[in-house]
Amino acid sequence: MALVKDSFDVVILGGGAAGLMCAIEAGKRGRRVAVLEHADRCGKKILISGGGRCNFTNLHSRPENFISANPHFAKSALARYIPADFIALVEKHGIRYHEKTLGRLFCDGSAREILQMLETECKAAKVEIFVSANVLEVTRTTEFVLRTARTEFHSPVLVVATGGLSIPKMGATSFGYDLARQFGIKLQEPRPALVPLLLAAEDRSHYCDLAGVSAEVIASCDGAQFREKMLITHRGLSGPAILQISSYWKPPAPVLIDLAPEKKVTAAFEDAKAPRNVKALNAAFQEFLPHRFADRWLEVNPPSAFTNQALAELERRAHRWEIRPAGTEGYEKAEVTAGGVDTDELSAKTMESRRVPGLFFIGEVVDVTGHLGGFNFQCAWASGACAGGSV
């Protein structure tokens, strides 16, 4: 069967958050845009995001909320498409939303509304969306040619918006990274991020039967720190504090956990008349930690004595509980992929490859990873809008 030839001004590979935003902006500028999505529908990750309510942006988005080998790269795109721009779009579509905590904005209803909004905007901008589009080959002569089983898509501009490797069952592929390699574009090694950590066997045997117990802690690693909830799981640690710090963790570094932020756990023992025994110590730790976890932690990390010096050492250890994770739960459980297309390869203004004119990379496939809390979508919207404004 002969291949059908179809020509566009812009072909976007991947109909997720970044790809759809790029399509809207390019379509609004009168470009003839095709989005090729290999799944049977666009935006599957949007639908499951934020527990089904989509944490679509963060009011306090700042460059410090993004991790990259070049921390300055994302500044330009983030400054040109800010949370208020996306909020204006959400409000234009009458979508109701609320701030949960720490500037994190969620839909009152469902993440479906955000996807519907993007699809409506695409339609208005005359974007053509091809789902179940399985690209077999990409070549470049005077223009890019993307071949599927039935169609050959021709375009002078190719935008790669294929996302990261997390949640393979939702359609994540390494296609974007492979394409970058095909065109000689460098990558920062991809790795799972915003991901639960696995405890080493000994720690697992000490703590994992307490799965479900949580506490507010400060988790720190590699100069970063997060004060949020930590959750004990069947295989290790999770909860927002751990997910956040996982993005900074690389083996074999330790993760340090302050179990009682800004508190002096052993303060009661400053009173000379206070009894000094295991029961009193457990009671002191139970003030700040769930009882079962307090008791267990002290069982595993007992003070060497009840002297002032030994209690001071225990206090120090409670604020610097050192964990050496055995690994992470991997891409199956990771919310995002850190690493990706090296930002040195891209123009920060347009997201276009410096090496291959007409080739753009946007969204999670690029080595810019947001903290937990709506930052990853903000980065997808911003990089998508930035490329869409220049293609």
Ligand X SMILES: Cc1cc2nc3c(=O)[nH]c(=O)nc-3n(C[C@H](O)[C@H](O)[C@H](O)COP(=O)(O)OP(=O)(O)OC[C@H]3O[C@@H](n4cnc5c(N)ncnc54)[C@H](O)[C@@H]3O)c2cc1C
Q: Which residues are at the interface with ligand X (CB under 6 A)? A: 13-19, 36-39, 42, 44-45, 48-50, 54-55, 135, 161-163, 166-167, 171, 173, 175, 335-336, 363-364, 374-377, 380
Q: 391 and 360 in contact (C-beta within 8 Å)? A: yes
Tell me whether residue 246 or residue 266 sits nearer to ligand X (CB atom).
246
Alpha carbons 37 and 164: distance in angstroms, whole number: 14
Q: 3 and 347 in contact (C-beta within 8 Å)? A: no
Q: What is the largest CA-CA distance in the chain?
A: 92
Tell me whether residue 15 or residue 27 sits nearer to ligand X (CB atom).
15
Taking the complex as a whole, the smallest distance from the CB of residue 264 to ligand X amounts, in Å, to 36
The closest alpha carbon to 215, from 227, 207, 198, 203, belongs to: 227
With vertex at residue 360, the alpha carbon angle to CA 358 and CA 364, rounded to the nearest 5 degrees, is 170
Taking the complex as a whole, the smallest distance from the CB of residue 251 to ligand X amounts, in Å, to 22
Taking the complex as a whole, the smallest distance from the CB of residue 37 to ligand X amounts, in Å, to 5
Taking the complex as a whole, the smallest distance from the CB of residue 314 to ligand X amounts, in Å, to 39
Bridge partners of 1, per DSSP, are none
Tell me whether residue 14 or residue 339 sits nearer to ligand X (CB atom).
14
- Bond before 290 cis per omega within 30 degrees: no
Q: 84 and 96 in contact (C-beta within 8 Å)? A: no
Q: Which residue is nearest to ligand X (CB)?
A: 16
Tell me whether residue 77 or residue 284 sits nearer to ligand X (CB atom).
77
Taking the complex as a whole, the smallest distance from the CB of residue 174 to ligand X amounts, in Å, to 8
Tell me whether residue 38 or residue 296 sits nearer to ligand X (CB atom).
38
Alpha carbons 348 and 346: distance in angstroms, whole number: 6
Tell me whether residue 71 or residue 275 sits nearer to ligand X (CB atom).
71
Tokens matching residue 189: 């090694």
